[in-house]
Homo-oligomer: A and B are copies of this chain.
Amino acid sequence: MAKQKPRTLSGFMELLPQRQVQFDRMVELLRSSYSRYGFTPLDTPVIEASEVLLAKAGGETEKQIYRFLKGDTDLSLRFDLTVPLAKYVALHYADLAFPFRRFQIGKVYRGERAQRGRFREFYQADIDIIGDGKLDIVNEAEIPSIIYQTFTALGLKRFQIRVNNRKILNGFYAMLGLTDKSGDIMRTVDKLEKIGPEKVAALLTGEEIGITSEQADEILKFIAIQGDNDHVLAALAGYQGRHELFDHGLEELTTVVKYLSAFGVPQTHFAVDLTIARGLDYYTGTVYETTMLDHPEIGSICSGGRYDNLAEYYTDKQLPGVGISIGLTRLFFVLEDQGYLNEEMVTAPADVLILPMTQDLAPAISFATQLRSAGVRAQLYTEQKKFKQKMTYADKIGVPYVAFLGDDEISQNAVSVKDMTTGQQETLPVSEAVSTIATKLNERMAGVEPIREPDHKA
């Protein structure tokens, strides 16, 4: 028969088993972390009607959409989890209680140009809190604590959550009479780290944007405000009283900072950063970015913010919210690439590989059943292979324990257990073997997080 060469599309992550276990463990920890903060899981369709999904889209996003006809129906694959959330909340409004706190971890699709570390199918892990008409500012203070707890649970230590407030930025540009140009200005200011203040000033005063050099100086002075949070807030207080929006934003930022320590976010992991803007129109209050301290070049690994109107394309209801998103597939790629995945995690398909050494398999099957009842993952190996091949298999799957049941063991109602890490082997009564293995596995897995930062960074 002619064979079709098997391949996986470029831009689509397909992991080998050991890596998949690590990825799934991260998803499990995200679910658990989000759940503890009272978010409920959602799972919306991957395919939506194009007219619904693209009600708001445009520009670069629209070009990247996987869009096609099935029969006469114009369909699109979701490109994020926010638009499906907006649709969901507008559609099921009457059945939901607000504030509505949901998380969703699912695949989204963007036909980006293929390049290393860029994915066309990738997981997003989102949380959002949606209010009905209003949403209290305390929610905006809780979000960084969720980011902090979540990455800490994954095993990441050296990261920082950066926070700003769009009202402060918009208010500041309004003070200077530059509201119309604020979009262009913020895009230019974004290049500060890359090209330096002089070139930024030149661009700002150049033909395209055309603000005065006094205005450019004011802007550069403003975004240069940095230091610890108290210092930044004090410097911002110097601008107070000149514009209502600015004052409101400063009040919000002060509240967010005030509650952070109550929420358990250490000062080391949090900074007010006036250079964070996060797009132009959607966000209206607090905005968040999260950077790995040793890999700032990767950009933000968790971003989001406050918005005033989640579902304006679908409903007249005012639905303000605040949310964050982790691009999980890219994050996983980066973690692997930088050697951050903890190789001490047990990634074998089973905890115990059972090798029956007799014709009658009943004792081995019974042992497997007892292990499984105790929550231990057990695989029965019954292929007709030489002993050496069986042990090679055990090594290849990386199983922590191998159990042998020969005539001697069976006659004593015992089992010989080999610890594949230490190489030690002992013969134990069956019930003792089950409890010993279960205990040792628990010890071994306690505190083993999927991420372990390389030593030289610690």
Contact = CB atoms under 8 A, between A and B. Distances in A.
A20 to B, nearest CB: 6
Contact of A45 (B95, B111, B121): B121
Interface residues of A, number: 102
Given A40-B21, A366-B262, A47 B12 contact: yes
Interface string A69-99: 1110101000000000011101110011111
Interface string A84-126: 0011101110011111011000010101000000001100000
A394 to B, nearest CB: 9
B37 A95 contact: no
A440 interface: no
Interface in A353-395: 353, 361-362, 365-366, 369, 372, 375-384, 393
A49 interface: yes
Interface in A51-85: 51-52, 55, 66, 68-71, 73, 75
A127 to B, nearest CB: 11
B70 A66 contact: yes
B312 A4 contact: no
A262 B368 CA distance: 10
A46 B49 contact: no
Interface stretch (A134-142, A156-164, A183-191): A134-142
Count copies of this chain in the complex.
2
B263 A365 contact: yes
A14 B142 contact: no
Contacts of A396: 97
B380 A102 contact: no
Nearest to A309: B1
Given A263-B365, A349-B101, A1 B91 contact: no
A305 interface: no
A42 interface: yes
A46 to B, nearest CB: 6
Nearest to A99: B383
Contact of A1 (B6, B313, B365): B313
Contacts of A135: 383
Contact of A92 (B16, B97, B313, B369): B16
A151 interface: no
Contacts of A227: none
A296 interface: no
A36 B377 contact: yes
A314 B52 contact: no
A423 B5 CA distance: 65
A397 B75 CA distance: 33
Contacts of A24: 41, 43
Given A15-B43, A44-B14, A121-B46, A1 B312 contact: yes
19 contacts: A3-B315, A5-B52, A7-B52, A7-B91, A8-B48, A20-B41, A36-B372, A46-B121, A47-B66, A66-B68, A66-B70, A68-B70, A101-B379, A136-B384, A138-B382, A149-B372, A259-B361, A259-B362, A262-B366
Given A4-B52, A97-B396, 20 more contacts: A3-B315, A3-B316, A6-B311, A6-B315, A8-B44, A9-B47, A9-B48, A9-B49, A14-B44, A20-B40, A23-B43, A38-B350, A38-B353, A47-B66, A47-B109, A47-B120, A47-B121, A66-B75, A68-B69, A134-B383
